[in-house]
Homo-oligomer: A and B are copies of this chain.
């Protein structure tokens, strides 16, 4: 199985042991287009008929986040963290406020803006988060927008 080897590599590169839970979690993140919560991951693993503890999910996500394998974020006024695989591409979220779908979009318009902020505020800028929200095509139709 190709991806199994891939996950093993990812872990080995960071001196982390290869365990079935870690593989399962990375696999789920890898197969998910959208960022998901720890609980989503927990449920998906249970659905596959495997047993795991929620604290293992959290601990694994923490470990992977600390090594930049996973990106942890949170959305606007929701107080629940979401996780996604760090695919080393800079991207942003596009959120549907109705159906809660989360798209990830690749373009970034902010380089110049960051330069301006560095000049103006004397900040040494390391990165940014951007979420754009609105209605997706389907929901816009349903809402007559």
Q: Which residues of A contact B (CB under 8 A)?
A: 65, 72-81, 94, 96-97, 103, 105, 107, 109-110, 112-114, 116-118, 121-137, 140, 145
B113 x A107 contact (CB < 8 A): yes
Minimal beta-carbon separation of A112 from chain B (angstroms): 7
- Assembly CA distance A117 to B116 (angstroms): 23
What are 25 A-to-B residue pairs whose CB atoms are below 8 Å? A65-B77, A72-B76, A74-B76, A74-B77, A74-B79, A77-B81, A94-B117, A94-B121, A109-B113, A110-B132, A114-B132, A118-B134, A122-B137, A122-B140, A123-B132, A123-B135, A124-B134, A124-B135, A125-B133, A125-B134, A126-B134, A127-B132, A128-B133, A129-B129, A130-B130
The number of times this chain is found in the oligomer is 2
Given known A-B contacts A77-B74, A110-B109, A125 and B132 have beta carbons under 8 A apart: yes
Given known A-B contacts A80-B79, A135-B126, A109 and B107 have beta carbons under 8 A apart: no
- Chain B residues, Cβ within 8 Å of A75: 74
